[in-house]
Amino acid sequence: MKVHERFLKYVKIDTQSLPEAENIPSSKKQKDLGRLLVEEMISIGIKDAYMDENGYVYGTVKGNADGPAIGFIAHMDTSPDMPGNNVKPKIIYDYDGSDIVLNEEKQIVMETKTFDHLLKYKGQDLIVTDGTTLLGADDKAGIAEIMSMAEYFINNPQIKHGTIKIGFTPDEEVGRGADLFNIEEFNADYAYTVDGGEIGELEYENFNAASAKVKISGVNIHPGTAKNKMKNSILIGMEFHNMLPVHETPENTEGYEGFSLLNDMSGNVEETLLEYIIRDHNLEKFNIKKDRFQKITYYLNEKYGQGTVELELKDQYFNMKEKILPHMHIIENAVRAMEDIGIEPSVVPIRGGTDGARLSYMGLPCPNLCTGGHNFHGKYEYISIQSMEKVVELLIEIARAK
């Protein structure tokens, strides 16, 4: 089966994770894809493939040569930011470099003036959405590429390679993909997540990440008699937000610059909830950002009364760089593999996170490789078939015994 055919099969299965759920997997439907993957793995010859009770899928391609046991990991869930059900992917064959009409009825167009990277793919075949859902290349493209790599080695036993460990995780998009990953049973010397973007990307630096929930309690009084009595929690919430630096937002930052994102806000006069994510590559700057939330909370409680503002700060993951630096041969091997097959390496910091960040801190060094996709988490998501095929070639090259 071709890699894009696998991908098209996987994206038809809704695996959207649920940030508000506490169980793992956060949505039972993720196991629908897990069961399909186990069946497919067994059918191509991965005899030990299984899914555990938490929705994690594992399997082994046995080695036929000496070498390290290398893991390849991707996540099964899709982002809660955009609908992931009823995905209707379309293939634009021999893309001509023009704007792409995703949905004529709804007049949804992917324009090259906004997404100029489209022009890199002129003459290639692009898989796009119908404009009403995300596509799911994050990270079902990674799954398809790993599966195609595994099938290649099984069908070509003359190609020498060490042991290849495969892992597919739930709930990466809600920050819990590595929570119950069985490092000991996986038993790899090191691994790669296949969860990046454009072809050539290789990442071993990611954000330090935290979440912040700000609950504001107000006092609701009839507006006709509210003078000196009403305490409007919505306005206090606005005041809280306006005390954060206006330039430290995602739309104003790039590269190594961190940010705080107001991801959700809801409420009324009586009670308001603000939900943030906090990100920075630099640990010192990360801690300063978190400390700022605490100082604003203290200030507003002094101003409006103790208990007005309640802050819940939670660390989510940390920059994997510290854990990768002692194992830089992992990066060097990937760079060499890219160069050997004609991919130009682009070693860049992740402006996000992967399961690999958590896994690296759990003892499994795990940088991130490209999938070939663009515009993740939204209706303009797309991926080149030729890029997917090249990523399969890259995984094969990394796993081959040299």
- Which is the catalytic residue, given 171, 172, 201, 280? 172
What is the DSSP annotation of 137-200?
HHHHHHHHHHHHHHHHHHH-TTS-B--EEEEEES-GGGT-TTTT--HHHH--SEEEEE---STT
Distance (Å, whole) CA 378 – CA 79: 9
Task: Say how far apart CA 132 and CA 147 lie, in whole Å.
Answer: 28
Clarify whether 32 is annotated catalytic.
Answer: no
The CA distance from 316 to 207, in Å, is 10
14, 40, 77, 125: the active-site residue: 77
**What element of type H or E holds 38?**
helix 30-44
What percentage of the chain's residues is helix, strand, coil (to nearest 5)? 35, 25, 45
Reduced 3-state DSSP string for 295-354 = HHHHHHHHHHCCCCEEEEEEEEECCCHHHHHHHCHHHHHHHHHHHHCCCCCEECCCCCCC
β pairing state of 190-194 and 70-75: parallel
Q: Is the dihedral of CA 354, 358, 364, 367 positive or negative?
A: positive
* 179 among known catalytic residues: no
- Residues with catalytic roles: 77, 172
